Amino acid sequence: MKKMRVVCRAIVLDEKQENLLLVRNKDTNFWYPPGGGWETGESLADCVIREILEETGLEATLDRFLYLQEFSPNSAEVYLEMFWLAYPKKNSVLPQVHSDHGGIVTESRWFSKAELASLKVFPERLKQQVWDDVKTLSLPNQFLTQKKGGEK
């Protein structure tokens, strides 16, 4: 039986929806959305916000859920990846220099639609479809929260 890993990722667009924030690490030759493993005890929303900050130094707010992807990088694991649409918080700027303390991200950068066309990205649909999806997937915010025991 494969081990399942829950991963929360963000499709981070700039305020004008003209650029997409992607990251990469020294062991890969492709760019991908910031995100990482869910930790026991945190909400999925808290996970994706934490991962954006840890990997890029950018403070962000979540807009809505976009995608769910399942894939197996090897014979022992299956990843359940959730992608949310996010935007930088007001007055939050992507640092020119940032260190992913304890993580693997070595670089983060904004890319325009035109720049994405020549990049190797994962998942591949980010190259063309993400902007259309952001406009057409106009679902209301799907984050449902429950109060912790004893809260009113």
Confirm whether 143 is domain-assigned: no
Confirm whether 141 is domain-assigned: no
CATH of the domain at 11: 3.90.79.10
Name the nearest CA neighbour of 121 among 36, 56, 24, 48: 24
Alpha-carbon distance of 124 to 17, in angstroms, equals 19
Q: Residues 115, 25: contact at Cβ < 8 Å?
A: no
Name the nearest CA neighbour of 44 among 142, 151, 147: 142
Model pLDDT for residues 25-40, shown as the tens digit of each residue: 988 889 999 999 999 9
pLDDT at 148 over 70: no
Confirm whether 98 is domain-assigned: yes
- Domain containing residue 114: 3-134
Confidence grade of residue 97 (pLDDT, cut at 50, 70, 90): confident
Q: How many domains does the structure of the chain reveal?
A: 1
